[in-house]
Structures are given as C-alpha cells and as structure tokens.
Structure 1
Amino acid sequence: MSTDRSLVGAAASCPMSITFDQFIIFGDSITQGASSQEKGFTFQPALQDVYIRRLDVINRGFSGYTSPQGLTALGQFFPPVEKDKVRLMSIFFGANDAVLPPYDQHVPLEKYQQCLRGIITHKAVNAQKTKLLLLTPPPVNEYQLESYGRESGYSTLTRKAQVTKLYADACREVGKSLDTPVVDIWSAFMKEAGWTEGEPLAGSKDAPPNKKLAELLCDGLHFTSEGYKVMYAETMKVIREEYPEEAPEKLPILFPPRLEAPWS
C-alpha cells in the first residue's frame, strides 16, 4: 500500500503531540460488561460518545473482583502523573463483597468500607487530583438469582436483597465521610422498581416478584441494557451536579474541525 506523501508532510508539520485526558471506569464485572456490544445500550460506549474528542473513557472492570482486590489492582494500572492525566474515575464495588458467607467472595462490611477509603485516598489518585464518583452496589433480585444459581449448581442463594442494601448504605457512608460524590445506583434501581421505604424490599423473597427490577437485571445481579441506561443517566446527573466543569459540553474539543485544521 502506497503512502500519500502530503499526509506525511502534514503530520510532520503538526507543531505538537496532543494527548487526551482520561475518564477511568473502575469496578467489577458490571463495569467490565459495560463495554459489551451484545446487550445493546451499555455504559462505556454511551459515556465515550458524549466525551468523544474530549476525554478517553477507559474500562478497568475486573470480573469477580471485590473491593480488596480492586484496591490492590489500582496501584498496578493507575498511570503516573507524568504519563497520563486521569481527570475522572468512577469506583463501583460491593456487588461481590456482599456475597453471603461461606462463599469466598464475601468481604465483611467494615473491610469493604476500609477498602473503598483506600481507593479514594490512594496516593496515585491524589497525585493526579482525580475527581471521583463512588457508585453504590445495585439491588439484587432473589427470584432471578435462585433460578440462575440453580443452573450453576448453587443449592442456596449467594446474595440477599437485605444484605446488599447494607453494603449500599455503607458505600454512601464512605462517600459522605470523604466528601466524595455518590452515584446511588441502588436507590435509582429501586425507584424504577416502584419500591417505597417501609415496604418489603423489591427483589426480596419477602415481596412479590418485581417485573421492572427483572428488566434491569439479566440474572438478578448483572445489568441489562435498561439497567445500563439507568447507570448512565445517574452518572451524568451527578457529574453535572457535583462537577459541572467536567460536563462534556464544558470541555474543549481536541483537534480543530477539518476545514479549520492548519494542516488541511
């Protein structure tokens, strides 16, 4: 294949290298799956679309990880200041920490909070002055979990709605104590499910099956396309409320339009 020499010359005349700041989405399998194209709408492509030519949205989701594993991984992938600028990062752990004992993913509530604090206050993150978003774990649907768990060989539930609520509450507490904005996925999903405070939890076996919650969760835990739409809407709402200067429309577009490009 031949090379257009005019493009080589134009590239050479470009006065400087332009790099894109980053928005890292960090979490477990729900974050890892946020880039999947099999579900239709998902979180990472939607986020990248609104930040196109403004920020690079980087998926650092690790299927199966708990908050202690996330804390360990953070120091291994988070770039140093001299390499890349991480402008924003979302932190989304707790769905696996809330697994019931004796299953090995279980992380006690206090340790979960300790690890979230460790991520938020990590020296690499502080060095970048990265703006953080802390996402609560979502609710679970025990009816779906029971069905899918049986197919996977589990004889008992691995998660319960009431226990997961405790982890969502604990996540909010950490955000409040460290002045870190919280994207309340748990409450947003429960609102979609029509749940009212004081009622048996939607998704619990103490309540009737909830059709809307089942539409947000494909297996009682992971998100459908509809679930990712809620995640995206809530995240963008919190960005605009807490970090208005980081809203896509407030950030400059990198590289000029074609007809204004000096090397055109």
Structure 2
Amino acid sequence: MTNKLRSRYGEWALITGASEGIGLACAEALAALQFNLVLVARRGERLEEIAAPLRQQHGIDVQVKPLDLSMLANNQLLCREVESLDIGLVVTSAGFGTSGEFVENTWTAEMNMIELNCISSAFLAHHFGQRFKQQQRGGLVLLSSIVSLQGIAYIGNYAATKAYIQSLGEALYAELKPYHVDVLTCAPGPVATGFAKRAGIEMSFAATSKVTAAGIVSALARRQRTVRPGWLAKCLSYPLEILPRSWRFPLIDTAMKLLLRHPKTPHGKSK
C-alpha cells in the first residue's frame, strides 16, 4: 500500500481539519504510509501536539498551518505557502455543522458553515485540481455525508452543504479521471467526533474516525468514486437510493431521530 499510493500521488499530503476527528485519523493513517504531511486547522498548538509524535514515530516531515479556512484569503495564503511542496494528495476534512430550526439560528453561523464546508473545499479542489491535471497525477478527497441524500429537518443547511460536496466530487471524478487524477467523495454516517457536540446533537451511536480513515485509504487504492465507510453508513444510505424520493423523507427522518437525540435549543458552532 505504501509504495502504491506514494508512487501514485507523490510524497506530500495536505489535510484540512486535521486537529481532530476524521482529519486527524486521516493524518495518522497517511503518516503510517510514509506520506509527509501538511496539517491545517485553526488551533496551532493542537497541530503541533499532533505533529510531534507523527514525526518521531514515522520519520516523516510534518508542517503545520494554523489557519481559519472559513476565510477565503486564508485558503489563498495556504496555497501560496505550499506551492514549493510536491503535494499530490489533498483531504478537505475541515467543516462544522449547525442544528435547530434554520430560521432561528443566526445567519452568521449558517453563512460561516457554507464558507467553510463549501467554498473552502471548492477553492482547494479547484486549485489543486488544476495543479494535478497539469502534472497528470494526484488525488482529492472531499468529505460529504450520507445526509447529502435527502433534506433533513433541523440540520437542513448542513445537509445542503454536504449535497453540494457530493455533487461536486462526483462531477470532478469524471472530469479529472482522463488526467490520472483520482477524486474520492467520502460520505460517512454518524461519526464519533467533536462535530456533534458543537452542533448541539447527542448521538446515540456512531462509527469511529479510524474506521472512516481506513475506508478512505482503501477506497483510494481502488480508485473509487464514493466511499461510505462502515456498516452504519451503508445500512442508512443504500436502501434510500432505490426508493422513490417521496418515501425517503419520512424514512430518513425516522432513522435520524433514532440515531440523534436533538436538544431543544438551536446551536451552530465551528471548530
């Protein structure tokens, strides 16, 4: 696996949202495959805490970039700062969710989520997609969710951002495939990360970030279009794809109520 992925993509991987959750798990998985890493998140001290053991355990180079990617200027700055590195794999894991009634949440929180979940991911996919196309190799991993399949009450805007990512990723897979560039969209189900706490959601049960990261690495090796890591994501998503859309809403609404215990007050907080 190490030689296969590194020879396909190059020595460096860039991961956003790397301070915790799926981003952190991807950093650990790719470090084990001997990728040098660029770790991006808002908390610089936390990134340094993660980078030190990865350098020591795997003998790799790790650079940290403490940036808030909800600001477009910081995405542009990031791209300039890594221009000299042979980055061949990009994982856009930075994101957060809001919950509660859309009209009761603050517009600032809802717009900030769109800026991070959609605009940052699209900007980085555009920038590195161009770069990978020119060099005729590379890989992009975009983080979607099974909630992208259907509008879901009380997380409507979050689900909409993930639907955008799912659609974009599937299109880029087809557009960049002729240039030997892999585009993988990861659509996990509920995952035990800091996301739920910030969104004001109590999860009844969830998959682990490590299971999700392992699914991403395995799917990259097979050059898949989309991966839904873990049994829970598969059980929740595959049946919906064969049902009429009019049936989907009540089914997924019921399923999410069983999985998620939603507080009475709306929330919307970022990492």
Higher helix share: 2
Which has the greater radius of gyration? 1
Higher strand share: 2
